[in-house]
Structure 1
Amino acid sequence: MNTAAVLVAGLEQEGVEHVFGLPGEENEATMFALRDSDVTFVPVRHEQGAAFMADVYGRLTGDAGVCLSTLGPGATNLLTGVADANLDKAPLVAITGQGGLESLHVESHQKLDVVEMFAPVTKWNAQISDPGIVHESVRKAFKTAEYEKPGATHLELPEDVADEDCDVEPMEPRQRVRRPEPDVPSIDKVRELLADAERPIVIAGNGAVRTDASDDLRAFVESYDLPVAATYMGKGAVSDDDEHSLLTLDSGEHEEASDAIESSDLVITVGYDIAEHDPADWNPEKDTTIVHVDSEPAEVYEHYNPDVEVVSDIAAAVRELDACCEEIDAEFERGWYDDLREHILADVSPEPDEGDAFTVKAVLPYLRDAMDAEDVLLSDVGSHKMAIAQNFVTYEPNTCIISNGLASMGISVPGGLAADLATDANVVAATGDGGFMMNAAEIETATRMGREYTILLFRDDEYGLITEEQVEHRGEHFGTELQNPDFQTFAESFGIEAYRPESWDELEDALTEAVPSDELSLVEVVLD
C-alpha cells in the first residue's frame, strides 16, 4: 500500500461514508485510493460547496464530515467552509494535496503555505511529511475534530509522499473523549445562587443541542417552571411548543426574551458560546448574575463575566442543577413570563390577507405546517435568516440549522445535500437569491446523486439584509441591488420541479406538495 491508500483506509476505519471534493493532479493517488475503497467520493462543482457539505454533515451527525481538494486555488476555495465549521463547532476533516517535498523550498506553480493558511481556522492541522505518520495523523484529525468542543482539522498530503510505500496500519478509533462530571465546589456555589433566586431564566446554546443535553434540560425547566430562550443555534433544545419556551434571543422585531432576562434575577446559560449571540444585547449593564454551564470555560468578556462556571459534561451538569433545586426545595415564582410568551407567539404567527405581498415572516407558518417536527430546515445567511431564527417555531434539536459563528452565505444549497444524506427526515434548504447564486451549481451535484430535498428561494433582487442596515444607518442604500435569472427556468434546466406561487393558497399547495416529495425541487417566493 502507498501512503494515500493507508490514509483512505484510515477514513474507512473512522466510519467515513462520503468524501466531498474535487480531483486535482496533486491528489491523484488519494483519488484512486478512494476509488478502490468503500468510501463514496462525491465530485462537487466548487470546493466551497464540498466544505459546506462536510460542515453540515458533521453538525447533524456529530461525526466529522470530510472534504477534499488539491493545492493552491482548490485549498483556498475550501477555506470558507472549513472556517464556518470551526466557528459553528461542527466536526470536519479537510484533506488537501500539495506538490512534492522537493519543491516546497522554492517558489513553484500554485504553491501556497496551505498548512499555515488553515491554522487559524482549525483546531489542529499538519502536513503528512512522512509515510510513517499517516495513521497517527488521521486518527488525531478525527479525534480532535470530534471531541467537545468539536471543530475543523486539516491534513496536507504532498504528492510524492502519497505515492511512497507505506507499511503502517490505520489506528482503530476508541471511545470518544467525554468531559468529566461537574466539580463539587462549583455546584455548591450554584446551589447558593439558586436558593436566593426567585426568577431564574435559562439561555440554551448550541452546546445544549450538540451534546444531547436536550432531554435533561427539558426535564429541568419542566420541574421548576423555568423560562428558556435559545440562541439561533440552540433552537429546539427545548421545544417551542413547550410552555416554557420564549423562542430565541431576539435582535429584531420582538424583545420579549430580553425583557424576560431583564426581569430575572439569575441567568443560567447552558452550552452557550458568545460567538452565537453577543451578551451585550442581554447584559448591557454588565450586572446580570450568570451561571455558565459548558464543556469549556467562558470567554473573557466584560458583558459575560459569570459568577460561577460549571465546566463539565453539559448533560451531567444540568442533572446536578435539577438535583440542587430539589435539595433546596426551590419554589421559584411561577408563570411570571406567561404574558411575554403569548406576545411572542402572536408575533410569529401572522395571518396574511389574500392580497398581501409575500414576506419571509408570513411564509414561515405555511412552511412549518408542511414540515413534520423531525424535518430539518437549513437556513442560508441573509435577511431571511433573521426571520427564520426569530420566528420559525422549532420542536426538536438539530432540526433548524443556522450558521451564526462565521455566518457565511452560500451554505444552504450544498448543505441541503449533506443534510439529506445525514437524516431520513425531509429537508428544506432556505436561501435568499444572493446566497443561492453563490453555490447554485451544486444542484447538479444533488441531481447526480439523486438527493431529495426542497430549496425554498426568497427573491428580493438585492442583498436585502445589507440594504436594511444601510437604510437604518444612512437613510439610503448603495451597491446592494441584483439582477437575477428566471429561477424557475434555471431550476428546470437541471431537470427538477420548480414552483413560483403567486398567492397564499398557491404557496400552501406548493409547500405541501414539495416538502414531503421524493424529488429535488425549488419553490421561489418573490418578496415585495
Structure 2
Amino acid sequence: MKAADLMVKALENEGVEYVFGIPGEENLDLLESLSKSSIELVLTRHEQAAGFMAATYGRLTGKPGVCLSTLGPGATNLVTSVAYAQLGAMPMVVITGQKPIKDRPQGQFQIIDVIDMMTPITKYTQPIISAKTIPSHVREAFRRAEDERPGAAHLELSDDIAAEEVDATPITPSYSRRPITEHKSVDYVLKLLKEAKHPLIVIGAAANRKITAKMLRAFVDKTGIPFITTQMGKGVINEDHPRWLGNAAVSDGDYPHRAIEQADLILNVGHDVVEKPPFMMKPDQRKVVHINFQGAQVDSVYFPHASMIGDIGNSIWQLKEGIEPQSHWDFEFMLKVREHMRDHTDEGAHDEAFPMLPQRLVEEVREVMPDDGIIALDNGIYKIWFARNYPARQPNTVLLDNALASMGAGLPSAMAAKLVHPNRKVVSICGDGGFMMNSQEIETAVRMNLDLVVLILNDSAYGMIKWKQEHMGLQNFGLDFKNPDFIKYAEAYGAKGYRLNATEELQPLMRDCMEQGGVHIIDVPVDYSRNVELLNEEIPKRAKAIQA
C-alpha cells in the first residue's frame, strides 16, 4: 500500500475521529488517503485554530487530538497552539508536511528545520525517513502524548515518503495502567493529616478527570476538609459545595488566600508550577503535600514537604480509606471566609449598570447555562472574574488556559467542545482582542453546522494589560483600538449577529439563541473601569479585615 494509506490506517488504529488543519501541497497524498477514511477532516481557516481545536479535543477526551499542516509557514502557524497543549498538559499529535528528503528540485524554498523548532515545545518530535517506520513512530507519538504528564508530539512526513509503496501494518496500542502511590507515602501523609489542625485542599488541572473528581468528592464529603480550586481545576467538585472556599484566580490578596494563611497543611492535588501559582510558598510556614501523577518540579514558590506520586484518584481513595474526621480539626475561620466571599460576590451580581460590569455578566451567564453546559474562555481580564465568580458544577465545564494563557483560543476551543459534546450547550466567551485573533473560524463553525453562542466582551482595548498598566500607575497608552461592526461581521460569515443595548437583555437573548441553534455572535459592551478599585484595593482590604 501507499505510505500515506498506512499513515491513515495507523491513525484509525489509534481511534482518531478528527484531523484538524489545513493541508498543503506536501500533504496531498495524505489528504487523498484521508478522503477514503472514517476520520473526518475539519478544515480550518488558520493552522493555529486547528491546533487549539486538537488540544481541546485531547483535554476533553483524554485521547490525543490530531492536527495537520504543510511545511514552513503552515508549521510555524502551529507553534502557539502546540505550546498551548504542551504547557496545558493536553494530549495532541501534530503532523506536518515537508519537501522531498531524497531530492529537492525546489532547492530550499519554504524549508525550515521544523524538527528543531518543535523540539522544545513537544514531548516527542520525529521525521519519518522510511515508510516502514510509520507504525512505530505513530504508536510512539500517541504513547508519549498520552503518558503523564500529557502533552504534544510531532511527526514530519515528507511528500516523497508519503508516496512510497510499503508493506507494513499498524502496531496495536498496549494495555497499561498508571502506577499507584507506595504505601509508606500514604502512611506519612495520613500522619500529617491527623496531626494538622487546619488542613486545606487545593485542586488543580490534573485532577480535572472523571475518576479523580469522583474520589475527591467522596474524600471531601467524608472528611469535611474545605477546598480551593485553581483556574484550571474548576468544577472537579461542584463549586456550590458548602466546603468550597473560592477560586485562586489571582496569586494573593483574595478571600481564598486568607484560608491558605490559616492552613497548617495543604493537600495540593493535581497542581504543578506550569499553571500560575494559586499560592506562594515560603520557608517555615505550612506543610504542603504534592499529590500528582509525577513528582513536583521544585521552584522558588513551590517546594513541597511530601509527595504522593501515582494515579491521583487512587491516592485520594487511599487517603479516604485511611482517615476519619478528627475532633481537633478546626475550619471555623475558613468557613467564615467563605461567607464573606459569597457576600461580596453577590454585591455586584445584580448591578444594572450598562455597559455591563463583569460581575453581573458572570451571574447572567451562570443563570443561563445548564450544569453540564460548557463555557470556553479566551484570555483577558474577564477570565479572572469568571474564575472567581462563576461556580462550575461539573468537571471540564469551564475551559480556560492558565498555563500558556494564549489569546485566540476561546472560539476554537468552544468549537472542539461542541464536536466532543454535541448535545451540550456551549458558549464561547471572548474579549474583542482575543476574538479577532481567530475570528475567521466563524466560517468554519457555520460550515460545520455547529450550534454555538459567542459572547464578544467589547471594551475596544486589551483590557487585561490596561488593568495592569493602571495598577502600576502608568499612563493609558498603546492599548486602545477600534472594532468592526460585529453584527455585519457575523452576517458576512452566515452567522447571526446582535448588539446588547441594555444589561437585562443578555439572559433572554442567550436563551433565545440557544433555542434557535446555529452560530450566534453577541456584542456585549463591558465596563472594566473599576477593576483596579475592586481587584487590587477593595477585595484585598475586605479579605484582610476578616477576624479569626
TM-score normalised by structure 2 residue count = 0.92
The answer to whether the 8 A contact 2:351-2:357 is kept is no
Amino acid at match of 1:363: L
- What code does the residue aligned with 1:37 have? S
- Aligned match of 1:296: 294
Task: For 1:295-374, list aligned pairs within 5 A.
Answer: 295-326=293-324, 331-349=328-346, 350-374=348-372
Q: Which residue of 1 aligns with 2:257?
A: 258
Deviation of the 1:107 alpha carbon: 5.9
SS in 1 for 2:85: helix
Query: How many angstroms does 1:321 deviate by?
Result: 1.3
Q: Secondary structure of the equivalent of 2:484?
A: coil
Residue matched to 1:84: 84
| Offset at residue 365 of structure 1 (A) | 0.8
Deviates more, 1:305-314 or 1:100-109: 100-109
| 1:121 and 2:118 matched | no
Partners of 2:294 and 2:109 in 1: CA distance: 42
Q: 1:448 to 1:106 in 2, by over 3 A?
A: closer
The question of whether the paired residues in 2 share the 8 Å contact of 1:286 and 1:303 is answered with no
Query: What CA distance in whole angstroms lies between the structure 2 residues aligned with 1:463 and 1:355?
Result: 21
Classify the secondary structure of the residue corresponding to 1:268: strand
Report what 1:522 is aligned to: 521
Report if the CA contact (8 A) 1:235-1:397 is conserved.
yes
The answer for the alignment partner of 1:149 in structure 2 is 149
Matches within 5 A, 1:186-201: 186-201=185-200
Counterpart amino acid of 2:185? S
CA root-mean-square deviation: 1.8
Q: Is the 8 A contact 2:376 2:426 kept in 1?
A: yes
- Structure 1 segment 63-462 matched on structure 2, within 5 A: 63-103=63-103, 108-175=108-175, 177-210=176-209, 212-251=211-250, 255-278=254-277, 281-284=279-282, 287-326=285-324, 331-349=328-346, 350-423=348-421, 424-462=423-461
Change (3 A) 1:106 1:495: closer
Per-residue displacement from partner, 1:384-429 (whole Å, max 9, x unpaired)?
1121112111011110011111111000111111110011311111
Q: How many angstroms apart in 1 are the aligned matches of 2:349 and 2:10?
A: 54
Amino acid paired to 2:60: L
Give 1:153 shift.
0.5
Deviations 1:7-56 (A, max 9, x none): 11111111111111112111111110101111111111110011011011
**Mean Cα displacement is larger for which, 18-27 or 501-510?**
501-510
The verdict on how the C-alpha distance between 1:256 and 1:98 changes in structure 2, with shifts beyond 3 A counting, is same
Q: CA deviation at 1:335?
A: 4.0
Find the aligned partners of 1:347 and 1:368 in 2 and give their Cα distance.
17
- Contact preservation (8 Å) 1:258, 1:282: no
Q: Displacement, 1:252? A: 7.6
Q: Using a 3 Å threshold, how does the CA distance of structure 1 residues 330 and 237 change in structure 2: closer, same or farther?
A: farther
How far the C-alpha of 1:516 sits from its partner, in A, is 4.7
Identify the range of structure 1 (212-221 vs 285-294) with the bigger mean alpha-carbon deviation. 285-294
Shift of 1:477: 2.7
Counterpart Cα distance in 2 of 1:105 and 1:136 = 30
Q: Output one character per residue of 1:217-250: Cα deviation in whole Å (capped at 9) or x when no partner.
A: 0111111111111110000011111001112114
Moved more, 246-255 or 455-464: 246-255
Structure-2 change in CA distance of 1:384 and 1:93 (3 Å): same
SS at match of 2:54: helix
Deviation at 1:340, TM superposition (A): 1.2
Paired position in structure 2 for 1:511: 510
Question: Contact conserved, 2:281 with 2:302, CA < 8 A, in 1?
Answer: yes
Question: With structure 1 as the length reference, what TM-score do the two structures score?
Answer: 0.96
Contact 2:281–2:303 (CA under 8 A) maintained in structure 1: no
CA distance in 2, matches of 1:154, 1:252: 34
Change (3 A) 1:95 1:387: same
Counting aligned pairs with the same residue, the percent is 37
Distance 1:93 1:348 in 2: 41
SS at match of 1:468: helix
Amino acid at match of 1:139: R
Q: Any gaps of 5 or more consecutive residues in structure 1?
A: none
- In structure 2, C-alpha distance between the alignment counterparts of 1:370 and 1:206, rounded to whole Å: 25
Q: Which amino acid aligns with 1:134?
A: I
Return the alpha-carbon distance in structure 2 between the equivalents of residues 252 and 517 of structure 1. 40
Q: What is the rounded CA distance, in whole Å, between the counterparts of 2:439 and 2:395 in structure 1?
A: 27
Shift of 1:211: 6.2
Alignment of 1:25-44 (within 5 A): 25-44=25-44
Tell whether the 8 Å contact from 2:280 to 2:302 is kept in structure 1 after alignment.
no
SS in 2 for 1:333: coil
* Structure 2 CA distance for aligned equivalents of residues 305 and 515 of structure 1: 46
Cα deviation, 1:297-356, whole Å, max 9, x if unaligned, reads: 000113211111110100000011112313x96652244422211122223332434344
Structure 1 residue aligned with 2:546: none
Q: Higher mean Cα deviation, 244-253 or 112-121?
A: 244-253
The one-letter amino acid of 2:138's match is V
Shift of 1:278: 2.0
Query: Where do residues 439-518 of structure 1 align in structure 2 (5 Å cutoff)?
Result: 439-518=438-517
Gaps in structure 2 of 5+ consecutive residues: 528-548
Mapped contact 1:268–1:292 kept (Cα < 8 A): yes
Aligned partner of residue 185 in structure 2, secondary structure = helix
Aligned amino acid, residue 192 of structure 1: K
Q: SS at 1:296's partner residue? A: coil
Shift of 1:172: 1.8
